[in-house]
Structure 1
Amino acid sequence: YRLKIARQAGADFAIYAKEDVPDYLRKNNNGRLADIVIVCTGATPAVQQAFNTVDRGGTILFFAPTEPNVATPMNLWDLWRNCNSVIMSYAGPPDDTARSIELIRAGRVKVKELITHRLSLAETALGFKLVAEAKESIKVIIEPNK
């Protein structure tokens, strides 16, 4: 479901994370890995996959952390040798927010298609359930006045 929505929203590639992502990228990206890898989950396998998927000179952006006491392996030699950058983000800085708004206004980023559910305040528990299950939802909006 989520891969289908990603394609509809304009993703160049929609890859099932449990597949061999580096192999898929090499086959479909002229032998190259990803220039930018954005990790939006704190799941340890996603962290490891990010390091295996980024190309030389590429950047990994961690938008979500692991749990506080979870240790994740990071090979500093590989980062150094490949000149990779690792950056963290909690939220977008003002310049990124302004650029995002420009892209949305220009129609280059489709956001309406990502809203799969609009629920009333009384349905908030259902909203959390939908997000936690992550099966048939992308973005769940709670509308207090609905």
Structure 2
Amino acid sequence: MKASVYYGKNDIRYEDVAVPEIEDGDILVKMKSCGLCGTDIHKAQHQTVTGPVVLSHEIAAEVVKVGKRVTRFRPGDRVVTAIHVPCFSCHYCDRGHFTLCEQFKPTNIEPGGFAEYIRLPELHVKHLTHKIPQGVSWEKAAMVEPIGCCLHGLKQAAITPGCSVLVMGSGTIGLLSAQLSAMMGASNVIVSDLSPFKLDLALRLGINHAINPAQENLEARIGEITDGLGVDLVVIAAGVSSLLPQAVNLLRRGGRVVVFSPFDQNNMVSIDAARFFRDEISIVGTYSLSSYEMPEAVEIISRNRINIDEMITHRWPLSSLGEAIEFAANPQHDVLKVIMQMDD
């Protein structure tokens, strides 16, 4: 089979690799669409993984073979899946912190999403794999996993009807989080970003306000929009640690910051710590998704509860993965979500 294999920065090879062998509880799927995630771009550009490795996990695929014990799926089924499975019984799982489970990160698909055929291990088949509803395209189905990640994060946010939400960063995760916040009842959703293209797209998606902090004073604009109260929630969807102290300053009393993006570990910032006691604010982190968000994300896609079509801006053949990563990583390009597809 064919796969785009990452060996190092600027060294991604479209080559023949072995088709994975499945066991009795596994299924083998053929990739139809696979999203290019921001983590894929980061890994390839900053060499945070050691090659050779097949990246990605935002998969929509067709079942081609099932193990003897598999009863929920059969060849020809259209499915989506995700990448990590918790144990459901440890200290963290018992308390609902599934992504902190020791089993979570070691579980994986084989070899990765940027391959022609992928083995979904038994745990993934049981807990993470779902059929794609009729009428949902392959490329829209590939957005199920990132939607699930955003749902997982927003569950930390305690969104209530009528609240105000600021999303800092208008990439795929930011614009999904903004749309989902509105879907959950937020009446005033604001995004900030430096990209005019992404800000224009946010407005086309129905976001109430789109602010470029290089051209406007963000704190002043938030004050105008919220009548001086500040926002109920800030979602940080960009890996810029300096956004954290600004997010804290933009919160109303009792507000919450949800940190979605990873920050540079060596970049320390100072925040107004007095606000924790004086104003009862909170800061929470979020990572990945649990098994419970997958069916929710499938339902959102199937009912068109948010606008996915306009978010998918580019499609590339799998053989051109290296070119697609370079294109998506260039801030000069008007690009949001890239979907990789098998070559014709």
What TM-score comes out, normalization by structure 2 length? 0.39
> Stretches of 4+ moved more than 4 A in 1?
none
1:66 has 2:278 as partner: no
Shift of 1:107: 2.6
- Residue 327 (structure 2) aligned to one of 107, 130, 138: 130
Q: Secondary structure at the match of 1:107?
A: coil
Q: CA RMSD in A?
A: 2.0
Q: Secondary structure at the match of 2:211?
A: coil
- Corresponding letter in the other structure for 1:38: V
Tell me: CA distance 1:105–1:122, structure 2 relative to 1, closer, same or farther (3 Å): same
Shift of 1:97: 4.1
Shift of 1:143: 1.4
- Residue 303 (structure 2) aligned to one of 94, 103, 106: 106
- Residue 249 (structure 2) aligned to one of 38, 52, 55: 52
Aligned to 1:2: 198
Please tell me whether the aligned partners of residues 232 and 251 of structure 2 are also in contact (alpha carbons under 8 angstroms).
yes
Q: Secondary structure at the match of 2:306?
A: coil
Tell me: CA distance 1:12–1:108, structure 2 relative to 1, closer, same or farther (3 Å): farther
Listed as ranges, the gaps of 5+ residues in structure 2 are: 1-196
Q: Secondary structure at the match of 1:32?
A: coil
Tell me: CA distance 1:31–1:8, structure 2 relative to 1, closer, same or farther (3 Å): same
Tell me: CA distance 1:24–1:112, structure 2 relative to 1, closer, same or farther (3 Å): same
Q: Secondary structure at the match of 2:242?
A: helix
1:142 has 2:340 as partner: yes
Shift of 1:110: 0.8
CA distance in 1, matches of 2:276, 2:258: 14
Tell me: CA distance 1:83–1:139, structure 2 relative to 1, closer, same or farther (3 Å): same
Q: Secondary structure at the match of 2:235?
A: strand
CA distance in 2, matches of 1:54, 1:137: 30
Please tell me whether the aligned partners of residues 314 and 339 of structure 2 are also in contact (alpha carbons under 8 angstroms).
yes
Per-residue CA deviation, residues 59-85 of structure 1 (Å, 9 max, x unaligned), is: 111111211222121222123222112
CA distance in 2, matches of 1:58, 1:11: 20
Shift of 1:57: 1.2
Moved more, 25-34 or 117-126: 25-34
Aligned to 2:112: none
- Residue 32 (structure 1) aligned to one of 223, 229, 236: 229
CA distance in 1, matches of 2:266, 2:298: 36
CA distance in 2, matches of 1:42, 1:31: 27
- Corresponding letter in the other structure for 1:115: I
Matches for 1:74-85 after TM superposition, within 5 Å: 74-85=271-282
Tell me: CA distance 1:100–1:133, structure 2 relative to 1, closer, same or farther (3 Å): same
- Corresponding letter in the other structure for 1:4: D
Aligned to 2:285: 88
Moved more, 80-89 or 123-132: 123-132
Listed as ranges, the gaps of 5+ residues in structure 1 are: none
In proportion to residue count, which structure has more helix?
Answer: 1
What TM-score comes out, normalization by structure 1 length? 0.85
- Identical residues among aligned pairs (%): 24
Per-residue CA deviation, residues 40-71 of structure 1 (Å, 9 max, x unaligned), is: 12213322321222221111111112112221
CA distance in 2, matches of 1:48, 1:127: 34
Moved more, 98-107 or 20-29: 98-107
- Corresponding letter in the other structure for 1:142: M
